[in-house]
């Protein structure tokens, strides 16, 4: 277990270092004022799909929204992303999971990409759930190496199938470059809910769709192409990592392309 945590900590340090020139102070920063009351509960978005969201107060005074997602598969659960770093914010998904998992078990943490506001609480949650399996796309880190597009075929660091796999046909993963080299979106097939994450941002309701900020997106052209590709999937609603509303429909995403 120690080696597993060490590997995760090393990976997290490498991932965070990507943006070190811009955000060198985030990991050391502690909020001086009290945080907003923790929105502990995961809110249901669709059948067996839940979301927890909160405001992230950055040291430069800006406030961003952060969301993590929980998928229920019988008595088993898959957590998509883990949220922002520092102990204050790590408490939020931890508290929400304790409430949500009273009659279930967290089996997988799947990470859409390696940016710090999506992986910041990884090490603390791995300590709290020592048996949980963690999956990345191989372009972000060598955790996710499945090739079929079905999460049941995903392999871990040892390139062996993990001890537990999501039921075949329940969740598929879909890569989208641009914002991050191994960005992965997850489609929960039973509810046709797409956790698109940072493929796009939604700033309100009615939908105010935007590409992810250019400062965090090395290749904007690829990001645009990735969004167009994701929008062709069969889904009812798409949910992103920075979403001031409750997702957007497939039709709304396709309408967005007409104004690009």
**Per-residue model confidence as pLDDT tens digits over 99-144:** 999 889 999 999 998 888 888 888 899 999 988 988 877 777 533 4
Q: How far is CA 215 from the centre of its chain?
A: 19
With a threshold of 0.85, does the pTM exceed it?
Answer: no
Domain total for the chain?
A: 1
pLDDT at 70: 96
What percent of the chain has pLDDT above 90? 29
98: which DSSP letter? Answer: H
**For residue range 54-97, what is the model confidence (pLDDT) as tens digits?**
888 877 777 888 899 999 999 999 999 998 888 778 888 999 99
Kindly provide the residue ranges of all beta strands, DSSP E only, lying in the chain, ordered along the sequence: 43-46, 49-57, 63-73, 76-80, 105-110, 133-135, 171-175, 184-188, 193-195, 201-202, 209-210, 237-239, 248-249
CATH number of residue 178's parent domain: 3.60.15.10
pLDDT at 16 over 80: no
Full residue range of the structural domain in which residue 98 is found: 2-257
């Amino acid at each position: 277990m120690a080696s597993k945590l060490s590997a995760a900590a090393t990976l997290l340090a490498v991932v965070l270092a990507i943006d070190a020139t811009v955000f060198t102070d985030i990991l050391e920063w502690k909020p001086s004022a009290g945080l907003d009351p923790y929105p502990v509960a995961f809110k249901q978005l669709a059948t067996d799909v839940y979301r927890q969201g909160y405001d992230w107060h950055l040291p430069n005074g800006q406030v961003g929204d952060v969301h993590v997602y929980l998928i229920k598969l019988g008595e088993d659960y898959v957590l998509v992303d883990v949220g922002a770093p520092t102990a204050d914010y790590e408490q939020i998904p931890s508290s929400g999971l304790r409430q949500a998992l009273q009659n279930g078990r967290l089996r997988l943490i799947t990470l859409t990409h390696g940016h710090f506001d999506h992986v910041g609480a990884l090490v603390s949650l791995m300590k709290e759930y020592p048996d949980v399996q963690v999956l990345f796309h191989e372009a972000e880190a060598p955790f996710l190496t499945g090739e079929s597009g079905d999460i049941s075929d995903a392999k871990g660091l040892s390139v062996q199938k993990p001890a537990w796999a999501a039921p075949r046909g329940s969740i598929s993963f879909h890569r989208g470059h641009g914002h991050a080299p191994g960005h992965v979106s997850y489609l929960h097939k039973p509810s046709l809910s797409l956790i698109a994450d940072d493929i796009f941002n939604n700033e309100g309701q009615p939908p105010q769709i935007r590409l992810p900020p250019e400062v965090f997106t090395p290749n904007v052209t690829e990001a645009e192409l990735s969004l167009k590709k994701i929008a062709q999937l069969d889904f009812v609603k798409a949910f992103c990592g920075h979403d001031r509303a409750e997702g957007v429909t497939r039709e709304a995403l396709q309408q967005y392309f007409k104004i690009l």
